[in-house]
Structure 1
Amino acid sequence: MSGPVAVVGLDCRFPGAPDPDAFWRMLLAGAESVSPRPASRGAHAQEPGAPGGFLDDADAFDHAFFGISRADATAMDPQQRLLLQTAWRALEDAGLSPLQLAGSSTGVFVGAMADDWARLQLSDTAEPTPRLGIGAGRSMLANRLSYQLDLRGPSLTVDSACSSALLAVHLAVNSLLAEECDTAVVGGVNLVLTDALDAIYRQAGLAAPDGRCKPFGAASDGIGRAEGVGAVVLRRAADARRDGQPAHALLLGSAVNQDGRSNGIMAPSRRAQREVMLAACRRAGVEPAQVSFVEAHGTGTPIGDLIEARALGDVYGPGRAEPCGIGSVKGNIGHAEGAAGIAGLIKATLTLRNGVVPPLATVGG
């Protein structure tokens, strides 16, 4: 089975943008949403946490709506709760009834890298219980959604660090084309509940002092952390067309690789980035010179952005009459880590749907 895959539904919640319409308005305005760390994210910090992009009311959840007991909801990682709500709305956006998918081969693919909730719960309680174990397990980010909606397709949580959500998309596309599932819900989620990664970023020289990502800007000085959740619903384009489902965008091809041995395990490889972009173009049947816009990784670290910009130039620079635009949603919301990829995909999807490329939000030029 081959052919494009359609994005038929989406939903998201990012700092300063509680839904896709608000997210698009933020992007069009070139605005950013960085704020002081809420008290609920700083209770375990040894010193005041850095500013960043934080969700409002991330703990709000109607457990009865999903048929979940209060005790189970209390023990659940709030990332599970965010995914349930967002995936439900994405399915509705696709014109699908979540309840009517029960028993179907619908797959669930989730990208995530944070397990702050697990560390907090399993260290703060004197007696770990099965309920806490289920509520804190990272695999349950995907499995909870499959269980609650009785979905029988593949169900997995992917952790490849900052590329987690995009790798989840890649796996979902391949699953659809292999006919393992007919519909795929793909999500990414990130909540900042402790300062563990803040300390690591500071010690590694990766943290922006003001908590802001400044991708590809002269003032780029590190990462600003962010929270967020997003979900897309994917179907084979031929199936969506047959069923009269409008497509927000088409995914023509994807590719994945690893840096291998580079200048340090946290350092990117220009060669590897070049190779994976060329592989994606080949699989999509698209010449690099035909690409007019790239939603890049663009974290705002001077070394990472420089290597990425050079790799992008290697691939998309030669043989073109017009420049290729480059963007990074991290300038708007910060680096959402495990959810960063889904934020970029939703931005790219909204860009195609609206026919407008939003400006690159950056501070200091």
Structure 2
Amino acid sequence: MHPRAAAIVGLGLRSPGGTTPDGEAMEVRGPAAAWEALRAGVPAITRYPARRWERMQERLHPDDRGSAPWPLAPITLPTTTDAAAFGLRASDVDLLSPSQILILEIAAEALADAGIPPSTLAGPRTGIYLATSSPDEALTTFADGTRPRLADLPAGGAGMLGTHLSRWLNTLGPLPTLDTTCSSSAYALHTARRDLTDATVDVAVVIGINTCDSPVVGRAFGDGTALAEDGDLAPYDERAHGYVRGEGAVAVVLRPYRQARRAHERIYAVLEHTAVGSDGRSAGVGLPSWQAQADLIGRALIAAQVHPDAVDLWVGHGTATAAGDNAERKAFAAVCGQGRDRGRGRLWPVWSAKGLWGHAEGASGLQSVAATALMLHH
């Protein structure tokens, strides 16, 4: 085991679960339900819930209004929560955005799953690491014609999304909100693991969140070839022709592996190492570089002292876009020696959570980590 490894000891999730016959969103709640959804393997990609679609249409230019709801992998966006449970007044809850409510609820769920009493996390030894890349809530809150108040500012800016969680737990440690677009929550996980192994914190709560409630953002994504308009999202498949936006909220609780092992905590999975990089001068903005990806994967394996032959499963980004999937395939092949184990005929499986739950954008990295942790645990 790598001496600086981190253990995943708690999970909280809200993942898409399809829609009801009445067109309302359903969702998968908690790690047990998420595991059952993974085992079933039934995609939760559907269309925008009927009532949300009607509200969104009203905010679009008449020329942009569609006759049919756009594809989406939705969750339920909450408007209220148990105020007393989080030390809030009812009037405080009225000012919270759906993302702020989800952050509180999934963090509480993950801590309960880890068996960590919230009252023990006060002080500077707990870090909260948030990730989002969705501008939907901010654009909705501050859209032309609305009348936002000063109290709406924390809900409209990503930098204050974790404020209520930090206040509830009374944490004094790191509280960043990271936005590196689709890699946001994976980068948050890397940052948290680094702080754990550097002994900056003893417990890290990592949260990724994505909501898709702005018609303007949906319109922008649809103005091109990135989205699969028919809702058929097929990562790494020859029929892949674009992705579907997905909503989701994921919380992961990390502890130093050695401490978790000594305390006999339930461990879902272990992070041996993490590494980060960027594309540099790729073929274009939004076009990934397979060479940069292969270099990054190789560096991570070397640092973790893991040979490619020891890898049983690659979990990729897998957006089902031609450019993205092809780049990843080339990167994995380069690392694995063209996908074969030194001529012995071995093939490596490659998987993406997006075929089930859509592309949760800024939350997608952590969603994949949580899904993989559940696979390893079970």
TM-score range, shorter chain: over 0.9
Per-residue deviation, 1:57:
5.1
Q: Which amino acid aligns with 1:90?
A: A
Residue 151 (structure 2) pairs with residue 131 (structure 1): yes
What's the counterpart of residue 40 of structure 2? 29
User: Which of 228, 239, 245 is 1:219 aligned to?
Assistant: 239
What's the counterpart of residue 191 of structure 2? 171
Per-residue deviation, 1:99:
2.2
Q: Measure, in 2, the Cα distance between the counterparts of 1:165 and 1:95.
A: 23
Assess, with a 3 A threshold, how the Cα gap between structure 1 residues 229 and 313 changes in structure 2: closer, same or farther: same
Match runs of 1:204-283 below 5 Å: 204-283=224-303
Residue 113 (structure 2) pairs with residue 93 (structure 1): yes
Match runs of 1:144-223 below 5 Å: 144-223=164-243
Per-residue deviation, 1:195:
2.3
Residue 56 (structure 2) pairs with residue 44 (structure 1): yes
Q: Measure, in 2, the Cα distance between the counterparts of 1:18 and 1:90.
A: 11
What's the counterpart of residue 140 of structure 1? 160
What's the counterpart of residue 81 of structure 2? 61
Is 2:9–2:266's contact at 8 Å kept on the other side of the alignment?
yes
SS of alignment partner, residue 14 of structure 1 = strand
User: Which of 336, 347, 353 is 1:329 aligned to?
Assistant: 353
Residue 2 (structure 2) pairs with residue 9 (structure 1): no
Assess, with a 3 A threshold, how the Cα gap between structure 1 residues 99 and 124 changes in structure 2: closer, same or farther: farther
Q: Which amino acid aligns with 1:5?
A: A
Computed over aligned residues only, the root mean square deviation of the Cα atoms, in angstroms, reads 1.8
Q: Measure, in 2, the Cα distance between the counterparts of 1:105 and 1:256.
A: 24
User: Which of 17, 30, 38 is 1:19 aligned to?
Assistant: 30
Per-residue deviation, 1:74:
2.2
Match runs of 1:73-92 below 5 Å: 73-92=93-112
Q: How many residues align?
A: 354
Give the fraction of aligned pairs with identical amino acids, expressed as a percent.
Answer: 34
Q: Measure, in 2, the Cα distance between the counterparts of 1:195 and 1:312.
A: 36
Is 2:79–2:97's contact at 8 Å kept on the other side of the alignment?
no
Q: Measure, in 2, the Cα distance between the counterparts of 1:125 and 1:203.
A: 24
What's the counterpart of residue 330 of structure 2? 310
Residue 369 (structure 2) pairs with residue 342 (structure 1): no
Is 1:215–1:328's contact at 8 Å kept on the other side of the alignment?
yes
Is 1:11–1:230's contact at 8 Å kept on the other side of the alignment?
yes
Is 2:139–2:214's contact at 8 Å kept on the other side of the alignment?
no
SS of alignment partner, residue 152 of structure 1 = coil
Moved more, 123-132 or 254-263: 123-132
Per-residue deviation, 1:262:
1.1
Per-residue deviation, 1:122:
2.2
Is 2:340–2:347's contact at 8 Å kept on the other side of the alignment?
no
Per-residue deviation, 1:202:
2.2
Q: Which amino acid aligns with 2:72?
A: G
Deviations 1:143-199 (A, max 9, x none): 331122101111111100011000000000001111110000001011111123322
Deviations 1:40-86 (A, max 9, x none): 25523332341211113533422232122233322222111101100
Assess, with a 3 A threshold, how the Cα gap between structure 1 residues 135 and 71 changes in structure 2: closer, same or farther: farther
Listed as ranges, the gaps of 5+ residues in structure 2 are 18-27
SS of alignment partner, residue 187 of structure 1 = strand
Q: TM-score, normalised by structure 1?
A: 0.92
Q: Which runs of 4+ in 1 moved over 6 A?
A: none
SS of alignment partner, residue 188 of structure 1 = strand
Listed as ranges, the gaps of 5+ residues in structure 1 are 355-365
Q: TM-score, normalised by structure 2?
A: 0.89
